[in-house]
Amino acid sequence: MKRVYLAGPEVFLPNAIEVGRAKVAMAKEAGFEGLFPLEQQLDLDALPKTEQARRISLANEALMRSADLLIANLTPFRGVSMDAGTAFEVGYMRAIGRPVLGYTNVPGDYRSRAEAFRRRGIPPGDSDASGFEIEDFGMAENLMIAVAILESGGSLVEGDAPAGLEMADLTAYRHCLEEARRICLD
């Protein structure tokens, strides 16, 4: 059974384990073994914070290497773009030649979100400024992410989750699994 690494900021949800198990169950229905990073048994409690972080990171990298493909949740998280850790993981799997698929639960391209960010006023300490170019390729995310997904053979699914369910809705994830079947299993 092909192994799919499930990347995304769901690991920060209060019910992360439950959401992860739902994603793993749906992956199984689609014919994949889902790998949810938070389900690894790492026994971190007695360790200093930096050592905890180190072990989580190295375990996630090893889990990626053990996976045949990646499905990334690209939904905007704490800013104009996706979660930075997930972007790292998309780059990681792209570099080692594995198919990457992605989905976002918020419709609209990068440009429209960057413009909305500016309309709210650029916060202190943020390095954006009026006059800076805003990427305008009609893509849902920075071109390094969006193109890598397509060039790897994957798909970028744009969903439209109800307000308040931008992180938890699994409709676009389900479409991604169907695409993954098409790429890997048919």
Q: Is 92 in the site for a second copy (CB under 8 A)?
A: yes
Rounded to an integer, what distance in angstroms lies between the CA atom of residue 74 and that of residue 113? 13
- Closest contact distance (angstroms) between CB of 63 and a second copy is 12
Site for a second copy in 17-46 (CB under 8 A): none
Q: Is 162 in the site for a second copy (CB under 8 A)?
A: no
Tokens, residue 146 = 């969006």
Pick the binder of a second copy from 17, 22, 26, 139 (CB under 8 A): 139
Build a one-symbol-per-residue string for 41-80: x at contacts with a second copy by CB under 8 A, - elsewhere. --------xx-xxx-xxx-xx-------------xxxxxx
Pick the binder of a second copy from 151, 162, 178, 182 (CB under 8 A): 151
Q: Is 127 in the site for a second copy (CB under 8 A)?
A: yes
Beta bridge partners of 156: 102
Tokens, residue 182 = 């098409």
How many residues lie near a second copy (CB under 8 A)? Answer: 75
List Cβ<8 Å contacts ≥24 apart for 174-178: 174/26, 175/103, 176/71, 176/101, 176/102, 176/103, 177/26, 177/27, 177/29, 177/30, 177/32, 177/71, 178/30
Q: Is 140 in the site for a second copy (CB under 8 A)?
A: no
Rounded to an integer, what distance in angstroms lies between the CA atom of residue 33 and that of residue 71? 12
Q: Is 138 in the site for a second copy (CB under 8 A)?
A: yes
Q: Mention every residue, 6+ apart, whose C-beta is less than 8 A from residue 185.
A: 2, 31
**Nearer to a second copy (CB atom), residue 27 or residue 74:** 74
**Nearer to a second copy (CB atom), residue 1 or residue 108:** 108
- Closest contact distance (angstroms) between CB of 91 and a second copy is 3
Pick the binder of a second copy from 19, 63, 145, 180 (CB under 8 A): 145
**Nearer to a second copy (CB atom), residue 33 or residue 126:** 126
Rounded to an integer, what distance in angstroms lies between the CA atom of residue 96 and that of residue 80? 27
Rounded to an integer, what distance in angstroms lies between the CA atom of residue 168 and that of residue 106? 12
